[in-house]
Protein backbone atom coordinates (compact mmCIF):
# COMPACT_ATOMS: atom_id res chain seq x y z
CA UNK A 1 0.00 0.00 0.00
CA UNK A 2 1.48 3.30 -1.10
CA UNK A 3 -0.25 6.61 -0.39
CA UNK A 4 0.61 10.04 -1.75
CA UNK A 5 -1.05 13.38 -1.09
CA UNK A 6 -2.69 13.23 -4.50
CA UNK A 7 -4.15 9.75 -3.91
CA UNK A 8 -5.32 10.50 -0.38
CA UNK A 9 -6.94 13.76 -1.50
CA UNK A 10 -9.52 11.70 -3.42
CA UNK A 11 -10.88 10.52 -0.06
CA UNK A 12 -11.16 13.91 1.66
CA UNK A 13 -14.82 14.27 0.69
CA UNK A 14 -15.72 10.64 1.46
CA UNK A 15 -18.73 10.06 3.72
CA UNK A 16 -16.88 9.66 7.04
CA UNK A 17 -17.17 7.57 9.18
CA UNK A 18 -17.10 4.68 6.73
CA UNK A 19 -16.22 1.01 6.42
CA UNK A 20 -13.68 -0.38 3.99
CA UNK A 21 -16.42 -1.45 1.56
CA UNK A 22 -18.10 1.97 1.71
CA UNK A 23 -14.80 3.69 0.96
CA UNK A 24 -14.11 1.39 -2.00
CA UNK A 25 -17.62 2.07 -3.32
CA UNK A 26 -17.10 5.83 -2.90
CA UNK A 27 -13.71 5.72 -4.64
CA UNK A 28 -15.18 3.87 -7.62
CA UNK A 29 -18.25 6.12 -7.89
CA UNK A 30 -16.20 9.32 -7.58
CA UNK A 31 -13.78 8.29 -10.32
CA UNK A 32 -10.71 8.04 -8.10
CA UNK A 33 -7.61 6.50 -9.69
CA UNK A 34 -7.28 2.72 -9.62
CA UNK A 35 -4.40 3.05 -7.14
CA UNK A 36 -6.81 4.46 -4.53
CA UNK A 37 -9.12 1.47 -4.91
CA UNK A 38 -6.19 -0.95 -4.76
CA UNK A 39 -4.85 0.70 -1.60
CA UNK A 40 -8.26 0.48 0.05
CA UNK A 41 -8.57 -3.19 -0.89
CA UNK A 42 -5.27 -3.87 0.92
CA UNK A 43 -6.65 -2.56 4.23
CA UNK A 44 -7.24 -5.15 6.93
CA UNK A 45 -10.96 -5.78 7.03
CA UNK A 46 -12.08 -6.53 10.55
CA UNK A 47 -15.31 -4.59 10.30
CA UNK A 48 -13.44 -1.47 11.38
CA UNK A 49 -15.04 1.94 10.99
CA UNK A 50 -12.66 4.61 9.70
CA UNK A 51 -13.24 8.14 10.99
CA UNK A 52 -11.07 9.97 8.45
CA UNK A 53 -8.14 9.79 6.06
CA UNK A 54 -5.80 9.83 9.07
CA UNK A 55 -7.11 6.40 10.12
CA UNK A 56 -6.08 4.96 6.76
CA UNK A 57 -2.82 6.89 6.33
CA UNK A 58 -1.52 8.01 9.75
CA UNK A 59 1.10 10.27 8.13
CA UNK A 60 -1.53 12.27 6.23
CA UNK A 61 -0.61 15.93 6.73
CA UNK A 62 -3.11 18.23 8.37
CA UNK A 63 -3.27 22.02 8.19
CA UNK A 64 -1.22 22.11 11.39
CA UNK A 65 1.67 20.58 9.44
CA UNK A 66 2.03 23.60 7.16
CA UNK A 67 3.95 26.65 8.31
CA UNK A 68 2.05 29.57 6.85
CA UNK A 69 -0.09 32.20 8.47
CA UNK A 70 -3.61 32.16 6.99
CA UNK A 71 -4.23 35.67 8.36
CA UNK A 72 -1.68 37.07 5.89
CA UNK A 73 -3.76 36.04 2.88
Position 41 in a domain: yes
Counting residues of the chain whose pLDDT is more than 90, the rounded percentage is 56
Instruction: For residues 68 and 8, give the distance between their C-alpha atoms in angstroms, rounded to a whole number.
Output: 22
Find the domain containing 40 and state its range. 13-59
**What is the pLDDT at residue 64?**
56
Q: What is the mean pLDDT of the chain?
A: 86
Give a yes or no: residue 73 inside a domain: no
Average pLDDT over residues 26-37: 96
Q: In the predicted model, is pLDDT for residue 54 greater than 80?
A: yes
pLDDT at residue 47 in the model: 82
Please indicate, yes or no, if residue 51 is contained in any of the structural domains: yes
Does residue 46 lie in a domain region? Answer: yes
What is residue 24's predicted lDDT score, i.e. its pLDDT?
A: 96
Q: How many domains does the chain have?
A: 1
- How many of the other CB atoms lie within 10 Å of CB of 3? 17
In a domain, 40, yes or no: yes
Q: Specify the pTM.
A: 0.80
Amino acid sequence: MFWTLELASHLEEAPWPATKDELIDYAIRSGAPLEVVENLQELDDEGEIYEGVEDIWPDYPTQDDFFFNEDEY
